């Protein structure tokens, strides 16, 4: 609802959910919009849109220390959103949640923090299926601090080679950074087991939850990780907002990422004392409206049965796969057991970009390219792929329109 109250439904109805997204009523190239680019960015429900407008029209001010009514109202909403993120992740307290501009900044915050103590030869383990946002920050430590990157192999079905991972761990392992759910393959990784093995080796663990927080019902205490990263725009919230969860000890061990207002307790000419986490990591005026919008999105999303949503999305994926079976010109990338509703594929004798552009003629929005996962593309032996990614508001009709458009697009190349 506009006031952030969760919309509780007796059973999940994708058509009722879809009706809450104004953009999904539009047409593209004379066809009803079929939006299947959700892994890149999800659309926004009316509850979030109304919340953002209400904040700007009625309660906007800078947060903390304002001591006037508007500032107090904005601060209350801002900190309430932090509490909402903590509940959503089952974090032990709001103080374990630091606001960031998104998942990328959250990973960079951690990488820069531990980077100050990285010594040449220290090892960082990532997987071959990582998004560039969970690769490049660690490469920077390789270039600047002499860290060694080690890679968990991806098996043919798109799952991680856990036996190989266990062999990679050693006394020099400082950090293990892996995705909860692949943005290309849809693979949902065994992050609790990954964390357990890393901790046994004395390493810390960062989980990239930018996809997992949407589709995998994260529980950071059950996972046991040191850090968990989310981004708002994939969670039906605005862009420019994300959050970093860290255990109290993990956050306390990190130095500030940026300097400025808000992240300090005292500043003198010859000394400085930093604020405690999480404010230590929130220099400057924060993304106030965006954070409140993320809180509204999570309150809205929490009004649904998450298991029912996952079952619905998986049913759509399976429906698409069943209709595509037997097409010898199509290759689906990643079919790990229990994967999420992401369908990446290649079409024989056709470039992914061409397929996506032709499908757009039929109103179907999909993504094409490397999906910011170049090592994974090389591992799978492709130079690009097309990706359809499902969300709670997609329907069987969307899925059929996607398959029909794909078959029509293929006809341009025969």
3-state SS record for 38-88: CCCCCCCCHHHHHHHHHHHHHCCCCCCCCCCHHHHHHHHHHHHHHHHHHHH
Task: Count other Cβ atoms within 10 Å, centred on residue 278.
Answer: 22
What is the greatest pairwise CA distance in the chain? 73
Catalytic (active-site) positions: 372
Residue 292 Cα to chain centre, angstroms: 18
Task: Give the three-class secondary structure for 365.
Answer: strand
Are 254 and 246 in contact, with CB atoms under 8 Å apart?
yes
What whole-number distance in Å separates Cα of residue 24 and Cα of residue 2? 19
DSSP letter at 207 equals E
Backbone phi, psi, residue 95, to 5°: -70, -10
Are 196 and 215 in contact, with CB atoms under 8 Å apart?
no
Structure tokens at 387: 């990706």
Are 185 and 157 in contact, with CB atoms under 8 Å apart?
no
Task: Count other Cβ atoms within 10 Å, centred on residue 326.
Answer: 7
Report DSSP letters for 263-287, one per residue: SEEEE-SS-EEEPPTTGGG--SS--
Task: Give the three-class secondary structure for 352.
Answer: helix
């Amino acid at each position: 609802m506009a006031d952030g109250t969760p919309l509780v439904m007796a059973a999940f109805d994708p058509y009722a959910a879809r009706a809450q997204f104004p953009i999904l009523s539009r047409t593209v190239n004379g066809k009803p919009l079929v939006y299947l680019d959700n892994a890149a960015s999800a659309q926004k429900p009316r509850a979030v849109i109304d919340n953002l407008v209400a904040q700007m029209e009625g309660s906007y001010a800078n947060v903390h220390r304002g001591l006037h009514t508007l500032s107090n109202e904005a601060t209350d909403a801002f900190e309430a959103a932090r509490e909402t993120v903590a509940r959503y992740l089952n974090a032990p307290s709001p103080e374990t949640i630091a606001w960031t501009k998104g998942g990328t900044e959250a990973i960079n915050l951690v990488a820069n923090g531990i980077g100050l103590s990285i010594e040449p030869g220290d090892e960082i383990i990532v997987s071959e299926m990582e998004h560039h946002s969970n690769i490049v920050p660690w490469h920077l430590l390789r270039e600047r601090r002499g860290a060694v990157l080690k890679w968990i192999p991806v098996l043919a079905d798109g799952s991680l080679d856990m036996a190989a991972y266990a062999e990679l761990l050693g006394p020099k392992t400082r950090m293990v950074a892996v995705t909860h759910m692949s943005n290309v393959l849809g693979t949902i990784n065994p992050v609790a087991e990954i964390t357990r093995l890393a901790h046994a080796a004395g390493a810390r663990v960062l989980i990239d939850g930018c996809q997992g927080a949407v589709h995998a019902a994260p529980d950071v205490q059950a996972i046991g990780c040191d850090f968990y990263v989310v981004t708002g725009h994939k969670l039906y919230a605005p862009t420019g907002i994300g959050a970093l969860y860290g255990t109290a000890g993990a956050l306390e061990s990190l130095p500030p990422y940026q300097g400025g207002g808000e992240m300090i307790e005292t500043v003198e000419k010859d000394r400085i004392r930093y604020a405690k986490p999480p404010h230590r990591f929130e220099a400057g005026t924060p993304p106030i409206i965006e954070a409140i919008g993320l809180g509204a999105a999570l309150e809205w999303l929490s009004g649904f049965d998450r298991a029912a949503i996952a079952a619905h999305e998986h049913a759509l994926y399976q429906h698409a796969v069943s209709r595509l079976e037997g097409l010898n010109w199509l290759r689906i990338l990643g079919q790990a057991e229990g994967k999420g509703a992401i369908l990446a594929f290649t079409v024989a004798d056709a470039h992914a970009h061409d397929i996506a552009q032709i499908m757009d003629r039929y109103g179907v929005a999909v993504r094409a390219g490397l999906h910011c996962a170049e090592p994974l593309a090389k591992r799978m032996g492709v130079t690009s792929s097309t990706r359809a990614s499902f969300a709670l508001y997609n329907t069987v009709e969307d899925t059929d329109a996607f398959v029909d458009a794909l078959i029509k697009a293929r006809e341009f190349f025969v």
